[in-house]
Amino acid sequence: MNTAKKESASDFWNRYYGDFVGTKILSFNGMKENEDGFGDGFPTFTVQFKDGTFGEIEISQDPEGNGGGFIFGLSY
């Protein structure tokens, strides 16, 4: 009998996106096109994570990277 507790979807997403909490956006780097040249470009940002390391994030519409995303809540 398997006694390992299955992780809930909510727990998974909280753990996954939890790494983003405390991250500082340093710059917007433009819209990076996908490798096929199809679809919308991906918004890319240089960030500093809460542990002090630097990285680049891209916003996609889904985990497969089928197209660029959109962030609601920003004034424009």
Q: Would the pLDDT of 66 be above 90?
A: no
Q: How many residues does the chain have?
A: 76
Arithmetic mean of pLDDT, 52-60: 92
Q: Would the pLDDT of 3 be above 60?
A: no
Instruction: Give pLDDT, residue 61.
Output: 85
Q: Would the pLDDT of 2 be above 60?
A: no
* Residue 10: its H or E element: helix 9-18
Instruction: Give pLDDT, residue 47.
Output: 95
The torsion of the CA quartet 22, 11, 42, 24, rounded to 10 degrees, works out to 0
Percent of the chain with pLDDT over 90: 32
Domain assignments of the chain as residue spans, ordered by start: 23-60
Instruction: Give pLDDT, residue 53.
Output: 94
